[in-house]
Every structure is written in C-alpha cells, then in structure tokens.
Amino acid sequence: MTEGFCEKCRAGSTDESSGSIKEGLFGHEFKGEAAKCPECGSHVAVLWRQFAGFPVKLIGCYRYKLVGAHFGGVDFLSRRVPDDQALIRRTRLNSILFTLAIFAAIGVYEWWRRSHR
Ligand SMILES: [Zn+2]
C-alpha cells in the first residue's frame, strides 16, 4: 500500500480537499463506500453535515483514505470527486433509517424498562 493516493485515484479527482472536519453526530461524517481502489485502499464517500445523526446538508463526494486513527479522531486524506447521485441517495437513506432504528430501539428499551418496574 502506498502513502496517499495512487496515480489513478489522483487522476480521477481534484486537489480540493475537505480539509479537517469535526466528525460526530452533530458534526460531519463521511458515509458510504464506493469505487474502492485495490491499489491505494481509498474509496469514494459522501461528506454530510449531520444533526443528531440525520444527514441535513450535502457537502460533496470525496475520495477518502484513512491514514490513522487515534484517541479523539482519525487522520484522513480526501480529494473531491464529481457528485455520485446514487451514492448520495443511498447514504442519505441508510443513515436516516439507521438513526430512526436507534431512536426506535431507545424507545422500546424505555417502554420495557417502565413496564417492568
Ligand atoms: Zn487508488
């Protein structure tokens, strides 16, 4: 595996990076995984601004490569790629369903806890 992006991935993306972002339920998150590259291990992901886990604002599609994880966050590289509408739709839908499922699970748990006292 090479440092950074391989030739092919660099050619298919622009120099524009997402910069450093604050990830989290009330911050930004890269969602989804498409066009995984066997050469450098990067993939295309959609950067969303989210609120309580719900994707509220599309920032854009980026070729994303994780370079390291540590306490308090991850280090990554990103390069802008053209918007992938199918991936955008899929990540939006998936994270809405995922967040709703978590809220539903919390609701069921609360109901169970109250009814078993
Ligand atoms: Zn690559």
Overall average pLDDT of the 52-58 stretch: 94
pLDDT tens per residue across span 59-115: 999 999 999 888 877 889 999 999 999 999 999 999 999 999 999 999 999 999 999
| Residue 94 three-state SS | helix
* Rg of the chain (C-alpha set): 17
CA of 57 to the centre of ligand 1 (A): 27
Task: Decide if 53 contacts 102 (C-beta within 8 A).
Answer: yes
CA of 25 to the centre of ligand 1 (A): 29
CA of 76 to the centre of ligand 1 (A): 14
**pTM above threshold 0.95:** no
Q: Which of 21-30, 34-43, 51-60 has the lowest mean pLDDT?
A: 21-30
CA of 104 to the centre of ligand 1 (A): 39
CA of 51 to the centre of ligand 1 (A): 31
CA of 19 to the centre of ligand 1 (A): 19
CA distance 97 to 81: 26
